[in-house]
Structure 1
Amino acid sequence: MEERHKNIKPIYDLVVKKVFRNEEVALQFVKDIFDLSAKSAKLIEGNQIFSANSNVETDFNIAVDILVELDNHAQVIIEVQLAKQVFFINRIWSYLCKQVNDNIERLKQTEKEKLAIYRKLPPVYVAAIVDQNYFDGEDPISTFLIKEETRNTELKMYVDNATKEMPLLKIVFLELKKYKPELKESYNKVRWLEFFGNKKYTSEPGEVIDRADDLLNVRNWTKEEQRMYDEITRQQDHYWASLAYAQEEGRAEGRAEGRAEGRAEGREEGRAEGIEEAIITLMKNGHISPEVAAAQLKLNIEELNKYL
């Protein structure tokens, strides 16, 4: 399917953050994806720009990719993921729990009464925009709530000054690779799949999406933003090219060893060893993070340490 932009990837970290720095765009995204009524949004976190090969341990404390706070007190974490990670959902949960805890600690400092802490505690939701599939089925948008097991009653919470109860928890996944032009979802949601998936719009996307698209014009970026994007692109291209090369080398080694020893398992062992070696080399050289390497090797971080 033809791409909307030839020279830019809307899902890259730097690009997503640039888009959501526009609070009107951030507000519309949250309203569309979470069906929330809000009149304004404020960007709390999301201005940080990191190099493509930033160290995972250094980045661990940066909290979330993007945090938006609405005028109805709800907070929305927006996370973007290019490569599939085994522990990505665990990571989302840790971010969500940390944000709730941070909110409690902040309210402890500002509220004298304990009941006020609970009364003013905002709900925290998560939107995960992912370039790899995580769930079975063909639906590109998956919404998770907390519901009673037999009655299907949704668990909600009261929020100070809100006119109605709000969901206690809401996590929405946008799986970009599942997008199809004939989707029956509300177009207010589908247009975001098209925007971040770099697809041609199948309907009139609206003024806010047009404004977001204008933010993807690299000619209007600062020199620092252009330099960072070029670095990210080089790192990503090198990663995928190296992985493809490793897979081919592994297949070649496997065939050669299989012929030499006359055993079929030689092909599999050679292929696996070649891929493993290339992934570990990419990690040691800083081209991919240990988390990405662990996901590719289907290991946890502790098991990965044996290669170091």
Structure 2
Amino acid sequence: MFRNEEVALQFVKDIFDLPAKSAKIIEGNQIFTANSNVVLDFNIAVDILVELDNHAQVIIEVQLAKQVFFVNRIWAYLCKQVNENIEKLKQNEEEKLAIYKKLPPVYVAAIVDQNYFDGDEAISTFLIKEETRNTELKIYVDSDTKEMPLLKIVFLELKKYKEGLNNDYKKIRWLEFFGNKQYTSKPDDILIQADNLLNLRNLSKEEKLMYDEITRQQDHYWASLAYAQEEGRAEGRVEEKINTIISLLKRGYINRELAAEELKVSIEELDNYL
């Protein structure tokens, strides 16, 4: 969905309060399988870098895999992008003398399906501010006349969504979209377009094949998990029966012959359980 520049632009404008009029996807045009040590074998990741007409860059990472140290990963992505921007400016002879003048801020949007912070706020925005005066740290970029926040990280915690949240509805509607909730206001053309992008009938042949493969692997995973759980329960019941019979035998409530018969072993083999 984020590979659609119109949808990506509107999401970024709404979440970061940016007045940009256009966006260009400069990375993330290809979907690729993520390298992950997660047991789940159908994880997919799409990394997208959106560059706006006011120089700001926004990293959007979409994954179907649970990640540990998620905030650490966000910080690593952000720092990596800043460093890459510096290196790109250094490679351009005309930009070498204006590296820091042209260096854009990088923002991160994190859409998460678990709660990270205390409280009921579903949308949390983190900035760099002075500790006592609460003054926000901002920078000028190139010929812009307006300062921009040096850093902005926005978390959307989907499980905290509820009707009547005290936020701008332009932000709330993305909680409703990603959380598969009923829209509390009539969706505009952008949300309709976003919904259509997720309609299976509108997928390309390649996307349909990928979706079918993900679904197949997902079904296989859950079937394997259900089988393992049932096997575990069966083994547990057998072990519980053995322990009960051996306990009765040791206490003298049943004899060796009956215990062997219940366990379906010979009297000699019964010693293996004692």
| TM-score, scaled relative to structure 2 | 0.77
The alpha carbon displacement at 1:91 in A equals: 1.4
Show the 5 A alignment for 1:81-120: 81-112=63-94, 114-120=96-102
Match of 1:40 in 2: 22
* 1:209-254 CA distance string (max 9 Å, x none): 1111121221122221111012222333444555566567667766
The alpha carbon displacement at 1:131 in A equals: 2.0
CA–CA distance in 2 between the matches of 1:84 and 1:134? 13
CA RMSD of aligned residues (A): 2.6
**Do the aligned partners of 2:128 and 2:137 also contact (CA within 8 Å) in 1?**
yes
The alpha carbon displacement at 1:111 in A equals: 4.1
* 1:250-290 CA distance string (max 9 Å, x none): 6776677678679xxxxxxxxxxxxxxxxxxxxxxxxxxxx
Question: Could you say what secondary structure the match of 2:32 adopts?
Answer: coil
104-113 vs 207-216, which moves further:
104-113
The answer to whether 1:168 aligns with 2:146 is no
CA–CA distance in 2 between the matches of 1:240 and 1:141? 32
Question: Could you say what secondary structure the match of 1:65 adopts?
Answer: strand
CA–CA distance in 1 between the matches of 2:57 and 2:209? 31
CA–CA distance in 2 between the matches of 1:258 and 1:165? 69
Task: Quickly say closer, same or farther: Cα 1:217–1:151, change in 2 above 3 A.
Answer: same
2:171 to 170, 189, 202: 189
The alpha carbon displacement at 1:46 in A equals: 1.8
The alpha carbon displacement at 1:153 in A equals: 1.5
Aligned letter for 1:91? R
Aligned letter for 1:34? F
Match of 1:131 in 2: 113
CA–CA distance in 2 between the matches of 1:83 and 1:132? 13
CA–CA distance in 2 between the matches of 1:188 and 1:81? 23
Identity among equivalent positions (%) equals 80
Which structure exhibits the higher relative contact order, with contacts defined as CA atoms closer than 8 Å and separated by 6 or more residues? 1
Aligned letter for 2:28? G
CA–CA distance in 2 between the matches of 1:165 and 1:181? 34
The answer to whether 1:147 aligns with 2:129 is yes
Larger Rg: 2
Task: Quickly say closer, same or farther: Cα 1:153–1:193, change in 2 above 3 A.
Answer: same
The alpha carbon displacement at 1:20 in A equals: 1.7
CA–CA distance in 1 between the matches of 2:72 and 2:111? 15
**Do the aligned partners of 1:119 and 1:158 also contact (CA within 8 Å) in 2?**
yes
Q: Which runs of 5+ in 1 are unaligned?
A: 1-18, 58-62, 263-308
* 1:159-200 CA distance string (max 9 Å, x none): 112221111111111122221123221110111111111221
* 1:43-98 CA distance string (max 9 Å, x none): 111221224xx5349xxxxx961110000000000122444422222111111111
Match of 2:256 in 1: none
**Do the aligned partners of 2:22 and 2:53 also contact (CA within 8 Å) in 1?**
yes
CA–CA distance in 2 between the matches of 1:98 and 1:126? 12
117-126 vs 196-205, which moves further:
196-205
CA–CA distance in 1 between the matches of 2:80 and 2:99? 16
Aligned pair count reads: 237
* Structure with greater strand percent: 2
Match of 2:12 in 1: 30
